[in-house]
Amino acid sequence: MEDLVLWFKEVGIDDVNLVGGKNASLGELIRELKELGVRVPDGFAVTAKAYRYYLDSNGLTEKINTLLSSIDVSDLDHLTHRAEQIQALIIGGEFPEDLKSKIVEKYRLLSEQAGMTEAYVAVRSSATAEDLPGASFAGQQDTYLMVRGEEDLLHSIKKAFASLFTPRAIAYRQEKGFSHDKVAISVGVQYMVRSDLASSGVMFTLDTETGFRDVILINSGYGLGEHLVQGHVTPDEFYVHKPTLKRGYRSLILKKLGDKATRLVYKEKDHTLWVEEVPEEERRKYSLNDDEVLRLAHWGLLIEQHYSNKYGKPTPMDIEWAKDGITGELYVVQARPETVHSQRKQGVIKIYRIKEHPTPILEGIAVGDSVAVGKVRVLRSPEEMGAFEEGEVLVTSITDPDWVPIMKKASAIITDKGGRTSHAAIVARELGIPAVVGTGRATQVLKNGMTITVSTAEGEVGRIYEGEVAYEVEELDLSKLPKPKTDIMLNVGNPEEAFRAGVLPAAGVGLARMEFIFASWVKIHPLALLNFDNLPEDIKEQVRELTCGYDDKREYFVDKLSQGIATIAAAFWPRPVILRFSDFKSNEYAHLIGGSLYEPNEENPMIGWRGASRYYSTEYKDAFLLEVAAVRRVREKMGLTNLKVMVPFCRTPEEAQRVIKVLEEGGLKRGNGLEIYMMAEVPSNVLLIDEFAKYFDGFSIGSNDLTQFMLGVDRDSERIAHLFDERHPAVKKACAEIIAGAHRNGRKVGICGQAPSDYPDFAAYLVEQGIDSISVIPDALLKTLQIVYETEQKLREKAGHRVPQS
């Protein structure tokens, strides 16, 4: 009976978490983690063997089996009644004296080590299963926090035993065909990390929405972690890039401030847990600093590597962490393999696309990457389950495990509250249905019976459209895609869509547009930030609101811009990402906050103060240097050296020289892995390609502007739209001259317009001319791969060198 209650260093570990089981040595894991600097709270485990001993000593095994033998999980009332009967039997039992004494002995020793008469502990339960590959019991059993005293501990362990038979746990096993007598439970008793006085959260070693495996996602909120996991708050989010973190860089590529409106805290006087509002000043601050985020991410890497070695395959992890508000130390309190994306078929991508884009009636955090159409059903509690019809869209404030039977019938889920690691988000991923969480007002806006379209296929923002919006689904088997010699790259502007695009078989990003980050993330004209003290009061107030938390307005710009750029660069690492510096026209810059104060009113902005001419001008140079600083941060601090830069609308070689000088002044100098490209989009670029090649490492043909200026056609004019044709002989000849001139000077050349995917004959022409790369929007990737591959095959056949299919 020596293995009934064991210190963590003596116990085994199963597939589920850090407490219980028998498949490998937990002591070995904890020793390794501590040697590597990972903190794990001390504690002991009441093993699965002790659980079975408890049942047998109280004569409960046969009684439980009898109650389970005729259970009907489809009848919610019957299921709930039987579950309550079983739980009452377990909680009403008595510990055998030898088991009780072992638990009390370990608790007293743990208290003594903590320097307390009675230590606060967390009681965490873990289902253990034999011969059930792929079984995940995560989140089905209960956790009890701030447990103190021997009687409180013993009662909490009984409740943890009983949580093996909640209605949801019974139904899960029944639906999966698992025999109840093959499942047991172990209970971990950990020293309580006082996160009620600090922060806590969840860490995944992949992106939970796309399955992208090169990032670590950390969610963080104030107070005890149960509040965040249950979806009561929208947490702070942090993304760390794993490959560059491994190389020693501070690769925190993205962070988003959550509302963190409430927190779960401990009231010592009443020995109760209490939800309190978070003061506005604290809500406006991140609940972790950058150093703490990077430390947690480093631990995530170590734990993922341990489990990957254990299972002999890459094993993304789902990890809970907590910060002690008394000591300031971080701890890992639980870890288990991630069970959604890791179970999906590799090498096959299903892509959902909205075919029309009406104005959404509601937005929130997107969970998943699909689209669903259905009728709204607003429910206030699980007790209203009888009103819910199969295929309806569940709309509610928040969910917990009692909602699962309803969620299984839903085509989509929408909640007022919650983040990416809330209960609703986790269950939606497991069910493979879209969810939009944290909308704030879904239960007020949406009405029963409304037909809506729920889209989580448009990036990180989930959108709800009124009515049935047309969409399409495409499934790609990556192993069957053609592999042309010409690099097929992507045009990417929205960082929120980067991780989804990054899993596509593209050679990199041929055009990363900075303008979207400007408009949607920065929002403020850079000169307004540089001249904040001189702004009118109304504009100053807008700037003050957006830059809250930043003492230095310059830092706000560089930080926001670098995060957007880094997200795109990380999504495609180590493939090249070519970032075009800002190419707004003056009328577009004017739309930024404060922009009208600094932008001229030009008659024809298309050929006005844009591109290179801005970068070296005395009026805008300081603003441009902020862009340069953001690029340097991404490359040098975050380690994303796959990032290259590109200068747009450079009219003359003299302008090229002046821009290169400004870049060098800002610390960006060609060489040492940095390549600087130029957009080839005006006639002077064609005629003087040899001169421009002296200053740049490569060129990207901007077919839209090049067509406009070669043919003298305003591309925005409806009256002469019929004259706008990228396939016009003049345009094609210009492209050929650029390609030949680039290659003559040993420079690379690509194209980043839409024409190659719209016109197969144009793509074929470019391939015939020897273009190095073609960059298209993600939706056009598959078609372009096929077009280019077939063109290359025909050229080889024509030359008598047929190449077999890839």
Which residues belong to the active site? 423, 752
Render the burial of 394-408: b for 16+ CB within 10 Å, e for the rest. bbbbbbebbbbbbbe
DSSP state of 518: I
Q: Are 616 and 622 in contact (CB under 8 A)?
A: no
Q: Are 469 and 387 in contact (CB under 8 A)?
A: no
DSSP state of 359: P
Q: Name, in order, each residue with C-beta under 8 angstroms of 291's C-beta and a sequence gap of 6 or more.
A: none
Q: What is the rounded CA–CA span in Å between residue 793 and residue 484?
A: 9
| Nearest CA among 610, 629, 622 for reference residue 679 | 610
Q: Name, in order, each residue with C-beta under 8 angstroms of 83's C-beta and a sequence gap of 6 or more.
A: 165, 166, 167, 170
Tokens 């001008």 belong to: 617
Q: What is the rounded CA–CA span in Å between residue 154 and residue 444?
A: 44
Question: Which tokens is 406 given?
Answer: 């309803």
Q: What is the rounded CA–CA span in Å between residue 780 and residue 757?
A: 6
At 219, which amino acid appears?
Answer: N
Q: What is the rounded CA–CA span in Å between residue 373 and residue 360?
A: 14
Q: Which helix (H) or strand (E) covers residue 158, if one does?
A: helix 150-162
- Provide the phi-psi class of 260: left if phi over 0, else alpha when psi is between -120 and 50, else beta: left
| Nearest CA among 284, 179, 297, 190 for reference residue 238 | 297
Question: Which tokens is 782 given?
Answer: 């598959």
Centre a 10 Å sphere on the Cβ of residue 720 and count the other Cβ atoms it contains: 12
Q: Are 402 and 467 in contact (CB under 8 A)?
A: no
Greatest Cα-to-Cα distance within the chain, rounded to the nearest angstrom: 94
Q: What is the rounded CA–CA span in Å between residue 181 and residue 694?
A: 76
Tokens 């029963």 belong to: 448
Length of the chain: 806
Tokens 């230590």 belong to: 119
Q: What is the rounded CA–CA span in Å between residue 749 and residue 678?
A: 10
The per-residue DSSP string of 615-661 comes to HTSTTTHHHHHHHHHHHHIIIIIS--TTEEEEE----SHHHHHHHHH
Q: What is the rounded CA–CA span in Å between residue 25 and residue 104?
A: 24
Q: Are 687 and 730 in contact (CB under 8 A)?
A: no
3-state secondary structure of 10: helix
Centre a 10 Å sphere on the Cβ of residue 236 and count the other Cβ atoms it contains: 25
**What angle, 0 to 180 degrees and rounded to 10, lies between the N-to-C axes of helices 97-113 and 48-57?**
140
Q: What is the rounded CA–CA span in Å between residue 731 and residue 735?
A: 6
Write the secondary structure of 49-74 as one string of H (helix), E (strand) and C (coil): HHHHHHHHHCCCHHHHHHHHHCCCCC
Q: What is the rounded CA–CA span in Å between residue 398 and residue 464?
A: 17
Render the burial of 179-192: b for 16+ CB within 10 Å, e for the rest. ebeebbbbbbbbbb
